[in-house]
Amino acid sequence: MKEGIALQVKRGILKFLASHQKGLRVARGMRKRLLPLVILILVQQCLFAQKKKQSNDGWFSKMDVGPAWMNTFADYYGNGKRTAALKGISLDLGEGWRGLFDTETLQLVRVSEETIEWGATPWTGAHGTLITMGNKTPLQITAKGSGWADADGSFEDKRNLKGFGNMPHAVYTGYYRHGREVVIEYTVNGSTVLDHFTREGAIVTRSLKISAHDKALTLLVADAMGDFQIAADGKSAKSADGLEVVASAGVKWVVESANSKRLLAQIPAAKTEAAVQIAFARGAAPTLAKAPDFKKLTSGGPGIWQEVITTAGVVSDKKDTSYVTDVLTLPENNPWGANLRFGGFDFIDEDSAALSSWNGDVWIVKGLKGDWKELKWQRIASGLFEPLGLKVVKGEIYVNGRDQITKLIDLNKDGEIDYYKTFNRDVYISQNFHEFAFDLQTDKEGNFYFSKGGPVRGGGRNFEQILPHHGIVAKISPDGKKFEVVATGLRAPGGLSVGPEGQITTGENEGTWQPCCKINYVTAKKAPVFFGTDQTRQTLADAPYTAPLVYLPMDVDNSGGSQVWVPDFAKFGLKTGELIHLSYGKSSVYRVLPVEKDGKMQGGVVKLPITLQSSAMRARFHQDGSMYVLGFRGWQTNAPTNCAFQRVRYNPEVGINLPEKLEYTDTGVKIHFSTKLDAELANDNTSYSGQRWDYVRGPQYGSGEFSVDTPDQAALEKALASESQKHKMRDKITISSAKLSADGKAVELVIDGMKPSMSLKVAYDLENADGDLMIGDIHATVYGK
Amino acid sequence: MRYLIRFLAGAAWVGLAQADLIATFSQQGEPTDKRLDRIVALSVPAGQVATPFLKPEKFETEWIGNLKIEQRRRLVFSFEGQGAKAELSINGEVLLTEAGKFGAIKSARLRLNPGVHALSVKYQSSNDGAGEIRLYWEEEGMARQTIPPSAYEVTADEAATAADMKRHGRKVFAEQNCAKCHAPANGFGATPMPELLEIAPILAGIGDRVTEEWLMKWIADPKAMNPSTKMPHMVDPSTPQGLQQAADLAAYLVSTATKKDLKPTTPDPALVKAGGVVFHELGCVACHDPAGEKTGDDSNRIPLNNVASKYLPDQLMAFLKKPEAFHPYTSMPNFKLSDDEAKSLAAFLEADSSGKETKLSYAFPKGDATRGAAVSESLQCGTCHPGMPGGVSKAASLDEIFKIDWAKKGCVSSEKKQEKLPKPNLNPKQLEALLAFSKSGHGSLTKDNHAEFASRQIDVKRCISCHALDEQPALLSSIHGSTAKLAAHVKGLDERVDQSRPQLTYIGEMLHTSYIEEVLTGTVKERARPWLGMRMPAFNAHAKPFAEGLSRLHGFSPSAPEKMKTDPEMVKIGHSLIGTEGFGCTTCHGDGDIKPTAAFEVGAVNFVQISERFREGYYYRWMDHPAAVMPGSKMPRYAEGNKSNLQNVLEGDASKQYEAIWNWIQER
C-alpha cells in the first residue's frame, strides 16, 4: 500500500508541477524545493517496485484490455478489502478512471480514479490474490447487494444462494461497444435497461434508458461514508463526506430510512421508454452530461483494433517423421501489449479460425488454406473473463469465460465485435483462482458443454467454499436457456469432448480424491454421474463413483487437456471414431485404446509420435484432414514455449507403427498393431515387460502406487489418513508367452495371474516386418475382461 | 546400500545377504579384501587406502554383480576417472577397456533382454595407489549418467559376507570405545579410523545438569534405561557392592553441583502443547520413541521416558539448544532451536515423560562422594570420560588382546562370568561381528577410507531415518503419522505440499563437497527447501571427512563451486530459455529476490542456490529426466533423450540448451 500512496503523492506533485510549469516564477522556486522530495519518492518507489516486481510492474499493467474488462475484482470498502464483484465489468472511463459494475447484482459498485493493484493467476500468476481497485476514497461506491429493487421494492438478496448467482428480478444480457464506449444491457422487473457511463473531468454521468415499466423502479445510487441530505428543491443530494449527485427531471431521491448513508433513486413508472441521468461529483456541483444517443451506441461503432497483423507461419519440411508440426506464428508483438496465451479455438471456415486468450481476447487468423507466408491476425474482442473455450456454430462465435458463455456479434460487419451478448450465465462462481471454466464443445443436437474446476486452495490441497457448479460438466441447451449438470465430482478437468453419440469425456488432475490424472468417460444415457471428488459431489449425494476409462500415471499425464474424436474427414493415420487425449502437462497426444465390457468403458493409451511447441490443451480437425493443436503455459507443463497454435500433419510416407486396438483376454492382453510384426521378436516373450499397480482414491492429495498382487492393507489404510505419493510398489508382471496372430499384426500375451488393476503398463520392444524398431508402451486400466 | 540398512535394523545374520555389488580388492595379485558396494565407484587419493584392510599402495578392484534389466534396452557404457586400466564385461564378454584418463571412448551399443546380466568391472589403480572410477550408461532417450544402485543386484558369497562382518566388527570396536582401555602401545598413527578419536560425554559439572537418582540408575543398569546404549555395564547391580559403587559414583558426580535443592516445576500446559507441535514438526520420532511408547520396530530409537527424571530444571532446554556442549560426538544433532522452540519442546518432553521413568527394582544405598572418586579410579571411568578419575588404563593393550580368542577370554567372552570386566552392551549381531573383526588384526585401525567412513556415518547419524536412500524409504515416512496427533490442532499442516526430505541416493554426485559440509555444520545461508516444516539439523562432528566421504563414495574427488568461464552468447540463450520465451522455469523457480511467477504449490529451489550446490554432471542428469532421479518430482521433463521439445533453439539439441542454462546459472 505504501507504494500506492507513494504513487498518488508523486502524481499529485507532478500534476501540480505540470499545472504550474507555464508562467509562474513562484512555481519554479517551488519546483526546486520539491525536487528532492520527488527524487526521494521516486527512489522509494523504485525500491518498492523491485520488491514487488511481480505484482505491479509486469506486462499486464501495459496491456490494453479494452473498454470493458470482465473479471472478479476486489476493492477497498470501509475499513477493509472485499470481493467487490464476482462477475464484474470494469469500464475504462479514461485517464485512469474506471467504473466497476457487477453483472450479477446489477449494481454500480464504484466509480473512481483507480490505482490497480494487480493479482489473479492469468495476470501475475498469483494464486488467490484478486485484482483490486486500489482507490480507498472513490468518487462513488456501494455496499454489496442488489443494484435495483425488485417488484416489491425490496433490495433484499433473494437469490437461492445468498451472495452468488443471478438475481431473480434483474438479469444481465450483454453489452454493446461503440468505439471505446460501452452500453451495458440488462432487464429489471421485466424492463430492458441500457446503462452508460461518461466522464468529464471528475464528474461522472450515468445515463439509463429504460423500456416501458408500469411500476416505479428504484435504483441504488451510492452508499456514502456520511449521511445524505436531499436539497430543498429535490434536484440534488449530498452526503456528509462530500458526494454530490444530481439527476434528470422526474427522478426522486430517497434516503433509505434505516440507513441515511444510502441514497436511492426512484424512477417513476413510464408507458414508453424513459431516459434517466445521474451525475456524481465531489467538491464541485455535478452537471449532467449530454444525453447519449443509445440507438447509435447500440448499433455497432468504429473499431478500435483495426490494425491487421501479418505473420509468417513456419511450415516444416521434415519428411522423416510420422507426424509433422507446422506452427502458426502468433502476433505476439501487437500494438496493444496483448498477451496471447490462447486457450480455446475453432475454425470459422477452411481459411480462418477464432482463438480466445486467457487474458480475455478473441483473435481471428486468416490464411490457413494458403502457404502460410502471410497469416492475417485481427483482434476482434477483448476483456472476456479467462475464456478457455471457444466454439463456432453456424459461423457465430461462442466463447466460454468464467462468468458466462458469450455470443460475439459484429453488428456493423467491420470485423470487430460490438455486441457481447450473454448466451448463458447460469454458472455460479466464487472468487477462487482455480475454478477455471474449461473448453466449449457441442453435441450433434447443438447442446453446449464445458467443464469447470473445483475451488482448490492456493496450496493445491483441499477446497475453499464449494458452490453448486464447482467441479462439474455443464450442458447448455442450443437456445442457451437451460443449464444442466451432467457430471459432478471433478477437480481440475482441463478439457472435455463430446463424442459422436453424445459420449462425454473429460481430463482430470491428481489432487484431493483424485489419485492421478485420468480420462473420464460417460455415455449420454448414463449422465449425470459422479467422477470422484467428494467435495464437488453436488446434488448426486448417493451416486456411485464412476471410475474412469483409464488412470494415467504422472509420467504419462500430470495435467489433462481436452479429448477429440477423429472425424471421417481426418487424414491422420487413425480411424474414424477414435478418441484422442491431450496432455497439457506432458505436451503430448495419446491415442486411446478403449476396451468395452458390459457397457462399461476401460482401456489404455499409447503415445502418438507428435512433437508440439506448446502444451496440448485443445485440438480440432481441419477440413483438410490435419489436426490443429493449441496450448499455453499457465500452470505446470513441460511445454517449451508460452503458447503455440500448430497444425499437425500425418505423413503417410512414414506411417505409424503403433498399437491400434487392445483386448483383454482371460489370461492376458491382445495388442493389435497397424503393421505386420517381425515374427521372431513378436513371439519372444522377452520383447515385452510390464507392471501393474493400484491407487487409493481418498481424501488425501493424489495417491501412491500399491501392489495388486500382495496388497499391503496397512499401507492402503494409511493412504486414506495421510499422503502416500511416495509409496511406489508396482508389481512386476511376468509375461510367460507371446504369440503372433496368423495375420502377423496382433500379439497375444499371457500374463501370469491376469487380474484387474487400476494401472497396467505393458511395454513392447519389437520390429515391424521391414525391420523398423517399434518401442513403446501402453498404459491401461483393467476392470475385467 | 543394503548392508547399511541391515546394520541399522540390527537383524542377526541369516544366510547370505542380498546386495548390489561385490567388490574384491587385490594387492600384488593377492585378493586382500571384499566389500559390498552400491555402485561401481571409488575415489582414493595417493597415499591413502582403497579399504582399511589394504595397504596405501597400488591396488586392483573387481566389481561383480548382475545388471537388472526390466525391459529390452540398447545400452552404451563408458567410464570416467583414471587408473592403469578399467575393463567392463557383461555376460562374460569384454565390452570396454580403457587406460589412463577414462572417458574418451564408449562401448559399442549392447542389446540386453529383460532379465539379469552378469557384470564385471576390473579396475587397476595408478602405480601410486591413487584411483578414481565411475561407470556410466546411456541409450536413446536417456542421457549419459552413472548407473544407479537400483540397477544392480548380487547375492553376497561367503567371503564377501565374512568381509562385511569383519568390517562391521571394526565399526563396533571403535564405537564401543574398546580402544580407550585397550590402547595401542604407540598410538594409531597419523591417519587413524576417525571414530577412535571420539570421546564419551564430558561429566564435568554434571551435577548441575542431571539428578543424582538418574545417575545412579544409569550407572547401575544403562541398558535398562536405553537398550541401544554404548555405555557398558561397569558395576553389577545384582550385588550390594555393585549398588554401592553406583551410589558412590553418583554421589561423586553430583558433589561438585553448585545449585542445590532445585525443585522441579510443573510445565505450563500451553507450552507443552506448543512443544508437542515442535516435536512432531521436527520429526523427533525418527530417532526417538516418545515416552511410554515403543512402536515395535527394531530401529533402536532412543526412548524418552527418562527425560523428566533425568534433567534438573532448565537443563533439558539447555541440552536441546546445544546437545554437543558436553558430548562433541553425540548423535543428537543441533536444530538451532529458537528459545521458544527449546523451551516448549523441553516442557513437552518433561510433561510427556513425567512419571514414566524406568523403574529398577534395586534399593540403592546412600552414596559417598569420596568413595565414588575411588570407584571411578578403579573402574577407569576417565579412559572414556575425560576428566574423570581413572584416566590411565590398566587393561591389556591392543596388541595383547588381538593375540587372544575373544570368544574365550575378555570383555565379550561368554565362556564364564567376567565379573570385574566391563560388559559391553552388544546385540548378537554386533558380537558376532566383533569376533570376526578380532581375527583380522588391528592394523586396519591405523588407516581409513573416506567412502567407508561416510557409509558408517550414514548409519551412526541415522541419516536414513529422515532421508530415503536408494530404494529404501525414510523411516520417518512410515512412522511420522504416529505423532500427528500432537499437531492435529494446528490448521493447514496436512494441506502442505509433500513434506518428505531430499533423498540421499545421488548425494555425492549431486552436491559439491563444500556444500554438503555446510549442510552438515548448519552453516547454509539460505535453505534450499523452505517449504519443509522440518529442517536439516547440524551434525558437526566429523562434518568435513563425512562430506568428503560422501563425494568419494560416489567416485568423486572433493569439490567446491568454481567460477566458470561462461560464454556470453550461451548465457544470453540460457536466460531466454528460463523465461517465458523458453521453458518458463521462472514460473516455479525464483531468481534471487524475484519470486517465481506462478508456483502452484511452492516455489522450487531458487536459481541463485544452484551453482553453489550442484556438480555440473548431476545437473545434466537432473535436467534430462527429473522424475527418474527423484520419483514423483514435479519438475517437468523437457526432452526425450537429446531431442528437446523446443526445436528452434540450438538446433533442438537438449544438452546444448541445458548447457546454455548452466552458463546462465553461473552468472547468478
CA distance B294 to B372: 34
Whether the per-residue pLDDT at B421 is higher than 80: the answer is no
Q: Grid coordinates in use for A78?
A: 470501509
Residue B340: CB atoms within 10 Å: 12
Per-position b or e across A396-428, b if 16+ CB within 10 A of its CB: ebbbbbbbbbbbbebbeeeebbbbbbbbbbbbb
> Does the domain at residues A309-650 carry the CATH identifier 2.120.10.30?
yes
Residue A221 C-alpha from the chain's centroid: 32
Residue B495: CB atoms within 10 Å: 14
The reply to whether B85 falls in a domain is: yes
Lowest mean pLDDT, pick from A727-741, B62-76, B303-317, B635-649: B635-649
The reply to whether B424 falls in a domain is: no
As a CATH number, domain A68-297 is: 2.70.98
Residue span of the structural domain in which B581 resides: 568-666
Residues of A with Cβ-Cβ distance to B283 under 8 angstroms: none
Q: Which residues pair with B80 in a beta bridge?
A: B134
Q: Grid coordinates in use for A407?
A: 455470443
pLDDT given for residue B420 in this prediction: 66
Q: Would you kindly state where each structural domain of chain A is located, as residue ranges?
A: 2-51, 68-297, 309-650, 659-782
Q: Contact at 8 Å (CB) between A285 and A293?
A: no
Region of B112 on the Ramachandran plot (φ > 0 left; ψ -120 to 50 alpha; else beta): beta
Cα angle value A447/A448/A451 (rounded, 5°): 140
User: What mean pLDDT is predicted for residues B234-252?
Assistant: 95
Domain end point (choices B140, B155, B170)? B155
**CA nearest neighbour of A151 among A191, A186, A184:** A191
Stated length of chain B? 668
* Torsion angle of the four alpha carbons B576, B581, B583, B588, in this order, in degrees rounded to the nearest 10: 90
Domain end point (choices B155, B172, B206)? B155
Residue A489: CB atoms within 10 Å: 28
Whether complex ipTM tops 0.90: no
User: What mean pLDDT is predicted for residues B514-534?
Assistant: 93
The reply to whether B59 falls in a domain is: yes
The reply to whether B116 falls in a domain is: yes
pLDDT given for residue B643 in this prediction: 87
**CA nearest neighbour of A99 among A15, A184, A156, A169:** A184
Q: Rounded to 5, what percent of chain B is helix, strand, coil?
A: 35, 15, 45
The reply to whether B557 falls in a domain is: no
Whether the per-residue pLDDT at B205 is higher than 60: the answer is yes
Whether the per-residue pLDDT at B15 is higher than 60: the answer is no
pLDDT given for residue B18 in this prediction: 76
CA-to-CA separations, A264 to A230, A253, A256, A284, B555, in angstroms, rounded: 11, 6, 7, 21, 81
Number of folded domains that form chain B: 2
Q: At what angle do helices B240-254 and B369-379 cross, to 10 degrees?
A: 110
Residues of A with Cβ-Cβ distance to B648 under 8 angstroms: 314
pLDDT given for residue A150 in this prediction: 97
Min Cα separation B597/chain A (Å): 5
Tell me whether residues B594 and A53 touch, CB distance under 8 A.
Answer: yes
Per-residue pLDDT tens digits for A391-411: 999 999 999 999 999 999 999
What CATH code is carried by the domain that includes residue B28?
Answer: 3.90.182.10
**CA nearest neighbour of A148 among A181, A83, A103, A88:** A103
B473 at the A interface (CB within 8 A)?
yes
Tell me whether residues A732 and B70 touch, CB distance under 8 A.
Answer: yes
Whole-number percent of chain A with pLDDT over 90? 87
pLDDT band for position B519 (50/70/90)?
A: very high
Lowest mean pLDDT, pick from A658-667, B408-417, B481-490: B408-417
User: What mean pLDDT is predicted for residues B296-316?
Assistant: 87
Whether the per-residue pLDDT at B17 is higher than 80: the answer is no
Residues of A with Cβ-Cβ distance to B597 under 8 angstroms: 54, 124-125
Q: Rounded to 5, what percent of chain A is helix, strand, coil?
A: 10, 40, 45
Q: Grid coordinates in use for A5?
A: 500512496
Tell me whether residues B71 and A721 touch, CB distance under 8 A.
Answer: no
**CA nearest neighbour of A313 among A299, A336, A330:** A330
pLDDT band for position B9 (50/70/90)?
A: very low
User: What mean pLDDT is predicted for residues A523-547?
Assistant: 96
Tally: H helices and E strands in chain B: 24, 16
Cα angle value B373/B379/B383 (rounded, 5°): 95
Q: Contact at 8 Å (CB) between B415 and B408?
A: yes
The reply to whether B73 falls in a domain is: yes
Average pLDDT, chain B: 91
User: What mean pLDDT is predicted for residues A574-590?
Assistant: 97
CA-to-CA separations, B481 to A157, B274, B430, B486, B487, in angstroms, rounded: 46, 18, 31, 10, 10
Lowest mean pLDDT, pick from A14-28, A122-136, A252-266, A677-691: A14-28
Residue A58 C-alpha from the chain's centroid: 21
Q: Which residues contact B350 (CB under 8 A, 6 or more apart)?
A: B267, B307, B308, B311, B316
Q: Grid coordinates in use for A269?
A: 413508472
Domain end point (choices B103, B121, B155)? B155
CA distance A59 to A338: 9
Lowest mean pLDDT, pick from A30-39, A313-322, A605-614: A30-39
Q: At what angle do helices B212-220 and B240-254 cross, to 10 degrees?
A: 140
Q: Dihedral of CA B571/B577/B580/B581: which sign?
A: positive
pLDDT given for residue A744 in this prediction: 97
> Is the backbone peptide bond immediately before B267 cis, with ω within 30 degrees of 0?
no
**The amino acid at A365:** V
To probe the interface with A, which of B480, B498, B576, B647 has the most A CB atoms within 10 Å?
B647
The reply to whether B245 falls in a domain is: no
Residue A307: CB atoms within 10 Å: 13
pLDDT given for residue B495 in this prediction: 73
Whether the per-residue pLDDT at B86 is higher than 90: the answer is yes
Mapped onto helix, strand or coil, the DSSP state of residue B657 is helix
The reply to whether B496 falls in a domain is: no
B530 at the A interface (CB within 8 A)?
no
Q: Which of A459, A585, A721 sits opposite B495 (nearest CB)?
A: A459
User: What mean pLDDT is predicted for residues B423-435?
Assistant: 93
Tell me whether residues B71 and A121 touch, CB distance under 8 A.
Answer: no
As a CATH number, domain A659-782 is: 2.60.40.1220
CA distance B3 to B459: 10
**The amino acid at A561:** G
pLDDT given for residue B163 in this prediction: 94
B439 at the A interface (CB within 8 A)?
no
Tally: H helices and E strands in chain A: 6, 52
Lowest mean pLDDT, pick from A275-284, A448-457, B637-646: B637-646
Average pLDDT, chain A: 92
Q: Grid coordinates in use for A213?
A: 415499466
Cα angle value A416/A420/A421 (rounded, 5°): 135
Min Cα separation B582/chain A (Å): 5
pLDDT band for position B294 (50/70/90)?
A: low
Residues of B with Cβ-Cβ distance to A636 under 8 angstroms: 587-588, 600, 634, 636
Min Cα separation B263/chain A (Å): 42
What CATH code is carried by the domain that includes residue B633?
Answer: 1.10.760.10
DSSP character string of A359-427: TS-EEEEE-TTTTSSSEEEEEEE---SS--EEEEETTEEEEE-SS-EEEEE-TT-SSS--EEEEEE---
Mapped onto helix, strand or coil, the DSSP state of residue A312 is coil
Per-position b or e across B86-118, b if 16+ CB within 10 A of its CB: bbbbbeeeebbebeeebeeebbeebebebeebe
Stated length of chain A? 785
pLDDT band for position B462 (50/70/90)?
A: very high
Q: Grid coordinates in use for A596?
A: 468395452
CA distance A598 to A705: 27
Whether the per-residue pLDDT at A635 is higher than 90: the answer is no
Q: Which of A53, A555, A721 sits opposite B627 (nearest CB)?
A: A555
Q: Contact at 8 Å (CB) between A132 and A81?
A: yes
Per-residue pLDDT tens digits for A357-387: 999 999 999 999 999 999 999 999 999 999 9
Q: Grid coordinates in use for B522?
A: 548448519
Tell me whether residues B600 and A127 touch, CB distance under 8 A.
Answer: yes
Q: Contact at 8 Å (CB) between A647 and A594?
A: no
pLDDT band for position A8 (50/70/90)?
A: very low
Whether the per-residue pLDDT at B500 is higher than 90: the answer is no
pLDDT band for position B296 (50/70/90)?
A: low
Per-residue pLDDT tens digits for A15-61: 433 443 333 333 344 444 444 444 444 444 443 333 444 456 789 99
